[in-house]
Amino acid sequence: MSLKSSRQQLGPLRCRVIDALPIGGNPERLVILNHGFGASGDDLADFGPMLIESSEEIARTCRFVFPEAPIDLGPMGMPGGRAWWPINMARLAEMNETQDFDPLTQLEPPGMKEASRMLGETIQAALAAAGLDASKLVLGGFSQGAMVSTCVTLTERLNPLLLVLFSGTLLNRTEWQRLANEHPGCDVLQSHGRQDPVLPFAPAVQLRDMLTESGFKMEFIEFNGSHTIPMNVMQRLQARLEK
């Protein structure tokens, strides 16, 4: 097995692309995972080699793509950090303090739709390069990366093979609810820590319930922990990819 990693421009976003396929070979499935606020574009990229080396089936069938979010946070004192849209961390901390999460779940962050549009173009470019359609797409991310993955799935009516939401949350509730009701639904793997101090557990449960009631097939993993991706969740993702 020869692991290959390259930096590619796919649509409007730069991406890390990783697979162990023969040179010139196309994958059977495309896995696109999006990083969270303040992380580098390569923040989740270690998941590619980890999953490929853990499974001959994944190595034989999957290509991994890790897009870099469009906003450079270097000028804001976070060298190497990227964001899909700006986040008011003080406001988020206040909501955690008061436990009043309605402002969070009703919020449409400025820049979210633009980020979703850019990610949608990158998804289409990556699928075209792989010779696949969205039925062979596994799409998701961590934290803000999970939010933008939810947004693009709903707004562009994507129907991926699997939507993966690691420690995401519910935003723009009224519109997301409308779009979810109009969506044909897809499989979802969602995880969240009960003690998450960044994105609280309760709105994640609201997102789970909204998608479930709209016909999405939900697998929800809650765990004792904070804002992270535990190993048992990665093992479950591996099992889903091997199917």
Domains of the chain: 4-242 (3.40.50.1820)
Instruction: Return the amino acid letter for 158.
Output: L
What is the greatest pairwise CA distance in the chain? 54
DSSP state of 134: G
Averaged pLDDT in 10-residue chunks for the chain of 243 residues: 93 98 93 97 97 96 98 92 86 69 81 97 98 96 98 97 97 96 97 94 96 98 96 97 91
Residue 102: the pLDDT is 76
Crossing angle of helices 144-155 and 173-182, in 10° steps, is: 50
Sign of CA dihedral 103, 74, 229, 215: positive
Residue 1: the pLDDT is 66
Show Cβ contacts of residue 161 under 8 Å, excluding neighbours closer than 6 positions: 29, 135, 136, 137, 138, 186, 187
Residue 107: the pLDDT is 81
Residue 100: the pLDDT is 66
pTM of the model: 0.95
